[in-house]
Chains A and B, each alone.
Chain A
């Protein structure tokens, strides 16, 4: 037999047999895929941020399609649009989503908060934190090496003058940055409404705070006294605002001698 023909036949036949075998195998061992799950997964943003409480977009889509959860509003980055679309697919009632954005609660930029040591190690907040709580004189404020910048899947965070700043128009409130901040400075706040916020987490006594940062909260209680709604409390020498009670009148900001409390109105996109 012609050797060339033989080679062609053998390779061709091997390929054909293997191809047929695979075709049969894919029919016999087909795994039924839930169409709902695929459709939901396509609506989700796919950042796998975990803000929904599941291990990722795939897991949330699977839980929704299997009926393990009835809540369509768990996807924070997706917001109202995604909630409505999921509701359409699953036939569940669309949950309301309060739009939020993350805020860095620190104003300790280079002018306000002087360095206490020369740090020349790895440019990472988590690393710097281990060396006397970071290079800035206030060991409660933003270190400014941008661990949160790296964590943000939407590139919404920038370091301006030594402090992380989050652009609320880009932020999708996924919360990835919140867990990376070694100082726990990042919080979610509602979008589009004026709320007072305390931009400080320094729990030292007033005199000590003053030495560390020009705009640190000294715990003078002036804000608690002027607030008519009981929204501001001082605990551990630092003020807190209850965003539910706060109506955004701005009186606390006017009263604050160090301007560490002020009105914030995060603009939605």
Chain B
């Protein structure tokens, strides 16, 4: 149990996907302008990550590893994730229209999100068991959500601050992103220290 907890916490804080591994930077910069869209995107990514892990883990174990085809992981995972996102979109549109409307454009955007592909590939590389992979994925998704929401707060404050003309827009956003990322370096060793 302790191991799972440390997996989740490590994925949120020390190995944060956006701020430490630099995966999923595109949505991190693209949809973090408002708190509402940022949290929507974060929740959608967490959801898709969990579904993707649940599907790709058995495919890797019972299909690719059986035939020694591990080198096909990337292409097969992309295929599966893309199809999965489409399926989720169709199903949500039919059975949960409010959630579909809330996720809106973000759901199709996730199809090619590298954070989702990154987490499933890393799960395989680290050699976790199924529950461990899910725990790591859950942590990664929550970490992504945390980074998005935090950064949305930073950006909302930047809207009303006096920024030099040349730095307005993307330049100041990148500066702020690097500072946020550095602040997460402070978590190094925290999880190991806490849970031994």
Contact = CB atoms under 8 A, between A and B. Distances in A.
Interface string B51-79: 00000000100011001110010011001
Contacts of B63: 10, 14
Contacts, number: 47
Interface residues of A, number: 18
Q: State which size class the interface on B falls in.
A: 20 to 34
A11 B93 contact: no
Contacts of A21: 83, 87
A19 B82 CA distance: 10
B72 A26 contact: no
A26 B75 CA distance: 24
Interface in A13-53: 14-15, 18-19, 21-22, 25-26, 29-31
Interface centre among A3, A25, A30 (most CB of B within 10 A): A25
Given A7-B72, A10-B69, A31 B93 contact: yes
B72 A25 contact: no
B179 interface: no
13 contacts: A3-B68, A6-B67, A7-B72, A10-B67, A11-B72, A14-B76, A14-B80, A18-B79, A18-B80, A19-B83, A21-B83, A22-B87, A29-B90
Interface of B: 59, 63-64, 67-69, 72, 75-76, 79-80, 83, 86-87, 90-91, 93-95, 160, 162
- What 6 A-B pairs are tightest by C-beta distance, nearest first? A18-B83, A29-B94, A29-B90, A25-B90, A31-B93, A22-B86
